[in-house]
Amino acid sequence: MADSGKSSTVTPVAVLGAGSWGTALAIQFARAGRPTLLWGREASDLQALANDRCNRRYLPEAKFPDALCIEPDLRSVVAAAHDVLIAVPSHALRALLTEIAPSIRDTQRLAWATKGFELQTGKLPHQVKIPMAVLSGPTFAREVGKGLPTAMTVAATDESFARALAVSLTSHNFRAYTSDDIIGVEVGGAVKNVLAIGAGMSDGLGYGANTRIALITRGLAEMTRLGVALGAKRETFMGLAGLGDLVLTCTDNLSRNRRFGLAIAAGKSREQAQAEIGQVVEGVQAAEAVHEVATKLKVDMPICEQMHAILYKNVSPTDAVKQLMSREITSES
């Protein structure tokens, strides 16, 4: 593996995925002084990014730093980079990994900012490819793009790589912490999206603050149970990539998953709500994947189970709440 000292911080990083989150991370790398190459699938979109020096569709107020360059050729961007960061939806991760595999060198390092289980297999991102590093935490792309104070977690099996990425991202307005618990960080990023849809539904139905905080707290317990069953560390879920990301996504309307839940509560269908959001709502597919994994591992996740029933079995949100509130009394632990 390549040296991860100061020299790596001035070599290019490639960000694959020019959506809102990929663009925001590319801006932050460049803002922190790292030469950054940004690639996306659509050539016309990339030309607009290059001409406008901003992503007018997702982050119109965030101008690109001089260190950020748009690169339309996937093979060229991978060849030019020291580190490669993938920021595409979970359902597109495997295909992109397969596409770039022939171009990855032994001296390169791979990271991803993809949140969720792979729908077809129920695998976490690190199980789809040799694990390297994952970036996650309570972050909205728009706020990162604006340069508002933000903190997130970088988890890797190689401590030096985690630190190198953290250093590359950190600036006066952005702080990155390191972790060695890739599984915990990935599980937190997947399950919180399912729970955020539930929080949006709850608020949309007018259930109030008591219900919202009960959902967040008990949802955190479900997230932790699943993570531990998969080999994660319990304490990870009390940090930025667990509790932090969960609270953020459940309580602020910048969250696509929360807004999706609000739309469902307003009587819109899954398809109508998705069209209204206009971007990938990771929690919809995550609800099915989490259901499959939890069932396989026999992990009790009643809130996530009801979310799956609402989204895939035509159960109404009010009936799901009745089901949850009528469960047998158990210990909180």
Sequence-ordered strand ranges (E) for the chain:
13-16, 36-39, 54-55, 59-63, 68-70, 83-86, 109-112, 133-136, 150-156, 174-179
**303: nearest Cα among 194, 228, 229:** 194
What would the two tokens of residue 15 be?
């960000």
Quickly tell me which residue has 């990935």 as its tokens: 186
Quickly tell me which residue has 């060198």 as its tokens: 105
**Strand 59-63 to strand 54-55: parallel, antiparallel, or no bridges (unpaired)?**
antiparallel
In the residue annotation, 192 being an active-site residue is answered as yes
**Residue 221: strand, helix, or coil:** helix
- DSSP lists the bridge partners of residue 135 as 154
Beta carbons of 230 and 183 less than 8 angstroms apart: yes
What is the C-alpha to C-alpha distance for residues 235 and 105, in angstroms, rounded to an integer? 35
Beta carbons of 22 and 87 less than 8 angstroms apart: yes
Residue 208's contacts (CB-CB under 8 Å, 6 or more residues apart) are none
The catalytic position among 192, 233, 296, 322 is 192
Residue 95's contacts (CB-CB under 8 Å, 6 or more residues apart) are none
CB atoms within 10 A of CB 43: 10
Backbone φ, ψ for residue 68 (5° rounding): -100, 120
Q: So which residues are the catalytic ones?
A: 192
